[in-house]
Amino acid sequence: MKIDRFEDIIAWQKAKQLSILIYRDFAGSKDFGFKDQIQRAAVSVMNNIAEGFERKSNNEFKYFLYIAKGSCGEVRSMLYLAKELNTISKESFDEKYQLAEEISKVLSGLIKTL
């Protein structure tokens, strides 16, 4: 299957969903440094998938997918901190962590196909 638009990439769709969940969960947070960092990491996942795809080169796309994967790991790491500091509930952590892990796996598969 040939993908014509980055919007059709499942990893991008899931990363967008994760970004929305992160923005909603941390909207009222007064810890502006933490909030900014986790939001930027989440958005970085979807934006790097989009930017890499638009480069129209498999090598560049792969490079940006690795960056997206790294940002995904950063989101997961920060979610642990948010849970330990009781900024988010265990349920909220589980939902977002599972989605972030799923995105990482999809990115790994996409990288292997390139």
CA atoms within 13 A on the CB side of 41: 19
21 closest CA partner among 89, 111, 104, 106: 89
Tokens of 89: 């509930």
Sorted by where each starts, the structural domains of the chain and their CATH numbers stand as: 6-113 (1.20.1440.60)
**pLDDT tens-digit map of 40-90:** 999 999 999 999 999 999 999 999 999 999 999 999 999 999 999 999 999
Residues in CB range of 32: below 8 A, 6 or more apart:
none
**pLDDT tens-digit map of 11-47:** 999 999 999 999 999 999 999 999 999 999 999 999 9
Range list of H helices, 1-114: 10-26, 32-54, 58-84, 90-113
Q: What is the rounded distance in angstroms from the CA atom of residue 1 to the CA atom of residue 70? A: 26
